[in-house]
Amino acid sequence: MLVLVAPGQGAQTPGFLNPWLELPGVRGALEAWSDAVQLDLVRYGTEGDAEEIRDTAVAQPLLVAAGLSSAYMLFDDPAELPRKVGAIAGHSVGELTAAALAGVLPDEETVRLVRARGLAMAEAAAITETGMSALLGGDPEVSVAHLEKLGLTPANINGAGQIVAAGTMEQLAALNEDKPEGVRKVVPLKVAGAFHTHHMGPAVEKLAAAAKELVPGDPRLTYVSNKDGKAVATGAEVLERLVGQVANPVRWDLCMETFKELGVTALIEVCPGGTLTGLAKRALPGVQTLALKTPDDLDAARELIAEHA
């Protein structure tokens, strides 16, 4: 059973879209989506420096556009995707990529929604100085309890022992001085704010207003939500969760538990892949994994699809 996953913010690197533009149809799709959101995705994906593409309002539509473009290259006909992929999920903004690939929203509507999401989250992050830090090592249960004692949110519980804390800079400074038992190191992340926490409340309101205009379809394959790792059957609930997810912790650990229960045998991560396959290698032993980084990975990915679809 094959699972397709889409990465979240932080997976992008300068110039990562360059090789993909050589494939037929990719440049045209990116230019159309660029026009739809008034943002030059081609330039940002080929010439944008690390600082430019770290901007939340840019990074989010760029990641979704890259994920969609690479996923469609896996199949001769995009209609094959829901027939050959057993389940689909995304980490943070990657959930919008997954929603589009599952047929919940058309591509252009998805890119418009993710542009609104990125702008709203950037605005919310500017209200209070907040951030995120990764915890290296330690027992997840002990770490989560310690974070809550400090007023921090375990914003990403990624499995394989990986937790990301989020909150104010003062709270994060206190965490650096008072680490949970067993944690070797606290690493500050280069992000604009405390995503997936109550600090993103204003963004939820704006995203809800943007989503109100949309008419979602039901997923055409098993759609696994990173709110709680549960499979969601209706488009209305997927859209509701996409809105609320901005201020809810990402439970990627529970998504991987669901993959296990579904009987996953192979996992492919769309461009820019690497992060989620790394987690899967540690948390899903025996499952074949492949990250789409460049078009050179497509042949191996197609072979994996042929074997596990």
Catalytic site positions: 92, 196
CA distance 169 to 120: 20
- Rg of the chain (C-alpha set): 18
Of 4, 22, 24, 20, nearest in space to 12 by CA: 20
Partnered with residue 133 across adjacent β-strands are 165, 188
CA-based end-to-end distance of the chain:
6
CA distance 294 to 164: 28
DSSP three-state, residue 212: coil
Based on the number of CB atoms within 10 Å of its own CB, is 190 exposed (0-12), middle (13-18) or buried (19 or more)? exposed
Angle at 26 between CA 104 and CA 278, to 5 degrees: 70
Bridge-based pairing of strands 288-291 and 266-269 is parallel
User: Do residues 196 and 247 touch, judged by C-beta distance below 8 A?
Assistant: yes
Tokens describing residue 261? 């229960």
CA distance 24 to 210: 32
Count other Cβ atoms within 10 Å, centred on residue 75. Answer: 15
